[in-house]
A and B are shown apart, each in its own frame.
Chain A
Amino acid sequence: MAPARPGIALRLDAALVPVLAIATALVAGGAILWAAGPQLEGPWLGLQFVAVAYLSLLEGAVGSRDAVIDTVLRAVPYAFSGLAVMLAFRGGLFNIGAEGQLTIGALFAAWAGFGLDLPAVIHLPVVLATGCLAGAVWGGVAGLLKARTGAHEVITTIMLNYIASQLAAYLLNGPLRDRSPLNVIAQTPKIAEGARLPDLVPGMHAGVLLVVAVAVVTWFVVWRTTTGFELRMVGANPDGAAYAGVGVVRRMTWALGASGLLAGLAGAVQVAGVNYRSTLGFNVGYGFDSIAIALLGRNTVSGVLLSSVLFAALRTGATKLQFRTQVSADIISVIQALVLLLVAAEQIVRWLYRLQAARAVAPAGDDEGREVAPVTIGSAETARTSK
């Protein structure tokens, strides 16, 4: 069959389209910045304005020690939820519900953090595990429904997002609300000291290490275990997998459950490492961002990690960009959407830069398939026609 490991050239080729997509989106974003900026005389001043905007973006993202820490801390939940979406993708499932799973994870992690009275050694693990479990249940429900009844996971996970936000609104205004007289907003009390993630360096919690560990475990499970192999089989060809004796129902439930677990962990880490409580409306936007991250990272672990750092840097730097240029920080959402469009429809990028069609790639179920999305997703047709 295929060679055991892809050569460095193939890896570079796989990274080429995302990199060009990002570059193209930044150029297009520059044009939008120019249009949205002040009226300037002549192209030089306009270019200068765009350059200043992007430099302030860069400065805001990595220009100082605090900026770097901000970016890294923001990348943590992105990485967890990006891995979550990736894992489901590999099973041929589209988890748009990372946001809801993250919300529920944060909610229950916070409850475990202030509601339980445990010794410090086990309190933190219990908090994280509670968040994981809550997220896994939230995702697993969608998986079970898909596998048993065929209810499309895109709709059920989105509905579960809305249910999660209503549930959070109810619990944070009701049973879980911080009753101290000083509190005026919908949030839980702070979690116990022993339930908090320790700092790795001042200002940066140890959740960063957890990301690395979880990324390695995820990679191992998806690409080096029987479970992962079956998952990818189901993703590549559910009928074939069933024919080969894979329990498709079980794998789909497992895939969305495990995906929810990772998203729930994202919420729990935010609670245990950053906010020390769960606050209403703090988890908005992760759903779409995590899909974008998984797609940009081409559903590979290393790709997801790189993409989450990039997205975190863009979001962190956007504040400075807005401050310096008076252009709304929402420009980042436009740039992200363009990146996503160009990654999803990579023919556009290949046409723009006169690249050859994608190299022949092995079927996604194959071990070699790590560099491409499953057949049901994205580059499927390119893979098929390029043989």
Chain B
Amino acid sequence: MTRGRFLFVLGCIAGLVGIAEALRSPDVPAAVVAASMLATTLRFATPLTLGALAGLFCERSGVANIAIEGMMLAAAFGAFIVGALTKSLAAGIVAGMVVGALMALLHAWLSVTLRVDQIVSGTVINIMAAGVTGFLSTEVVRRQAISGAGLLPAWRVPGLSEVPVIGPLFQQQPIAWVTLALVVVAHLVLFRTAWGLRVRAVGELPRAAHAAGVSVARTRYAAVMVGGAIAGIGGGYFTLEAVPVFEPMMTNGRGFIALAALIFGGWTPAGAWVASLLFAAANALHINAQQFGIPVPAQVVGMFPYVLTIVILAGAIGRVTPPAAIGQPYVRD
């Protein structure tokens, strides 16, 4: 992500906080609005960042991924049900990662081995995740009256979490912290390891990678499944960190916004994270609108993140270059 774009995003986030401040009702103190906006933004950015990182590994290897939504939804269910049955939140997260990776395995099998159109494959996975989790949530969860294992407790940074206004930023739940770490790890893995180089190679010029002795199929399988596991952590956010229940379709388009963040962030971890923060800030404004006493109908504010996604995708601020081999199955010859 270029510096200009980075500053643009920071400016947008500041602008959104500014809008919240300008429209707030006089009864709500300015410091409360700022604190709440910042903390909510960081929290909402968690599933978006994880979804974008999931898409990052997948798409950098040349496999288009519009199935982030489905992977997260299925993982949210897996994390919930295993967490509830074992009464262990840690087991829930592991289950989420496994489910995410399995959905990714299906995507890899369809698009790498069977060479199904990758957009079709992604759609199949999204529809399948919606259908199966919807069915299981009525059949298993509601019928057996399964209740969740609760929520992950917040981890506080001693000292910093007591500071006014920015304090809430330093009391986040574990998945939010892990997400921040993963942004750094993803960058290091993708740009500083041999495996990362192989992933990028099969995503840019698979023929050359093949000639250099890299198995295109195996590398793509691995990258897609790593992405799926990360999407699985993102699924865990929904049922272990946000709310302790599973609801059908609860990912509510976050997987698609994550994909937009990935594109806007230029297929880099840091860019994806910053773009996720922007979408999260728009969402935070919507969620907090009522609490701040903002005199605009909630539905109108609610359109904002989606309109923003379209505007940004339409390249109002310059184009980005996708991985060269994205969407193309590799056929050895």
| A152 in contact with B299 (CB, 8 Å) | no
Q: With both chains docked as a complex, state the minimum distance between the C-beta of B275 and any C-beta of chain A, in angstroms.
A: 13
| A341 in contact with B256 (CB, 8 Å) | no
**Which listed residue, B126, B127, B306, touches A162 by the CB 8 Å rule?**
B306
How many chain A residues sit at the interface, stated as a range, is 35 or more
Q: How far is the CA of A344 from the CA of B132 in the complex (A)?
A: 18
Cβ–Cβ < 8 Å partners of A337 in chain B: 124, 127-128, 130-132
| B297 in contact with A292 (CB, 8 Å) | no
| B119 in contact with A341 (CB, 8 Å) | no
In the complex with contacts A167-B299, A292-B127, A152-B313 CB distance below 8 A = yes
| B138 in contact with A328 (CB, 8 Å) | yes
Contact with A along B119-163 (1 / 0, CB 8 A): 111011011101110110011000000000000000000000000
Cβ–Cβ < 8 Å partners of A378 in chain B: 116-117, 120
Most buried by A among B135, B256, B259, B329: B135
Asked if B10 is an interface residue, CB under 8 A from chain A, the answer is: no
Q: How far is the CA of A22 from the CA of B319 in the complex (A)?
A: 43
| A336 in contact with B306 (CB, 8 Å) | no
Cβ–Cβ < 8 Å partners of A312 in chain B: none
**Which listed residue, B132, B139, B256, touches A158 by the CB 8 Å rule?**
B256
Cβ–Cβ < 8 Å partners of A163 in chain B: 303, 306-307
In the complex with contacts A151-B314, A166-B306, A378-B116, A334-B127 CB distance below 8 A = no
Q: Which of B171-229 contact A (CB under 8 A)?
A: none
Cβ–Cβ < 8 Å partners of B309 in chain A: 155, 159
| A381 in contact with B256 (CB, 8 Å) | no
Q: Which of A86-116 contact B (CB under 8 A)?
A: 94, 96
Q: How many residues of chain B get a CB closer than 8 Å to chain A's CBs?
A: 42
| A336 in contact with B313 (CB, 8 Å) | no
| B135 in contact with A334 (CB, 8 Å) | yes
Q: How far is the CA of A337 from the CA of B125 in the complex (A)?
A: 8
A-B contacts besides A36-B139, A151-B313, 12 pairs, CB < 8 Å: A150-B315, A155-B256, A159-B309, A163-B303, A169-B299, A173-B297, A288-B123, A330-B138, A333-B135, A340-B123, A340-B124, A381-B115
4 closest A-B pairs by beta carbon, nearest first, are A333-B131, A170-B299, A337-B128, A151-B313
Q: How far is the CA of A328 from the CA of B127 in the complex (A)?
A: 17
Q: With both chains docked as a complex, state the minimum distance between the C-beta of B196 and any C-beta of chain A, in angstroms.
A: 25
Asked if A216 is an interface residue, CB under 8 A from chain B, the answer is: no
Q: Which of A324-360 contact B (CB under 8 A)?
A: 327-328, 330-331, 333-334, 336-338, 340-341, 344-345, 347-348
| B310 in contact with A167 (CB, 8 Å) | no
Give the A-B pair count, Cβ closer than 8 A. Answer: 136
Asked if A145 is an interface residue, CB under 8 A from chain B, the answer is: yes
Asked if A64 is an interface residue, CB under 8 A from chain B, the answer is: no
Asked if A237 is an interface residue, CB under 8 A from chain B, the answer is: no
| A151 in contact with B127 (CB, 8 Å) | no
Asked if A156 is an interface residue, CB under 8 A from chain B, the answer is: yes
| B310 in contact with A341 (CB, 8 Å) | no
| B110 in contact with A345 (CB, 8 Å) | yes
Asked if A160 is an interface residue, CB under 8 A from chain B, the answer is: yes
**Chain A interface main SS type:** helix
Closest residue on chain A to residue B255 by CB atoms: A158
Contact with B along A133-162 (1 / 0, CB 8 A): 000000000000100111110111011111
Asked if B114 is an interface residue, CB under 8 A from chain A, the answer is: yes
Cβ–Cβ < 8 Å partners of B253 in chain A: 158-159, 161-162
Closest residue on chain B to residue A174 by CB atoms: B297
**Which listed residue, B115, B130, B310, touches A145 by the CB 8 Å rule?**
B310
In the complex with contacts A36-B139, A150-B319, A292-B127, A376-B117 CB distance below 8 A = yes
Cβ–Cβ < 8 Å partners of A310 in chain B: none
Asked if B260 is an interface residue, CB under 8 A from chain A, the answer is: yes
| B139 in contact with A328 (CB, 8 Å) | yes
Most buried by B among A160, A162, A381: A162
Cβ–Cβ < 8 Å partners of A348 in chain B: 114
| A345 in contact with B314 (CB, 8 Å) | no
Cβ–Cβ < 8 Å partners of A145 in chain B: 310, 313-314
